[in-house]
């Protein structure tokens, strides 16, 4: 599986590229075709980042990711 950095993920925020990606627990999901992530926005959340810590705010569980393809792995960041 291909690894992507946080900055590569950030380009898939629904504004800069056609692809829309979201990272969750180290995996990157392609939500480009979801009507609920149009333009990279999902309620008050934005694509192009790791939203693992935000899931507890959602009215749903992680099973929402089941139907999406994993397109890569989020590279471990050494940024401070």
CA distance 22 to 15: 13
| Shortest Å, Cβ 72 to ligand HEM | 16
Smallest gap, in angstroms, from Cβ of residue 74 to ligand HEM?
A: 13
- What phi, psi does 50 have (nearest 5°)? -85, 115
Distance CA 23, CA 72 (A): 9
Q: Which residues bind ligand HEM (CB under 6 A)?
A: 22, 24, 31, 34, 36, 42-45, 51, 54-55, 57-60, 64-65
Minimum CB separation from ligand HEM for residue 12, in Å? 14
């Amino acid at each position: 599986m291909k690894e992507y950095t946080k900055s590569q993920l950030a380009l898939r925020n629904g504004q800069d590229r056609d692809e829309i990606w979201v990272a969750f627990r180290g995996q990157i999901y392609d939500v480009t075709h979801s009507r609920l992530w149009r333009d990279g926005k999902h309620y008050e959340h934005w694509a192009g980042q790791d939203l693992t810590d935000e899931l507890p705010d959602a009215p749903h569980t992680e099973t929402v990711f089941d139907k999406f393809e994993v397109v890569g792995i989020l590279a471990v960041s050494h940024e401070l």
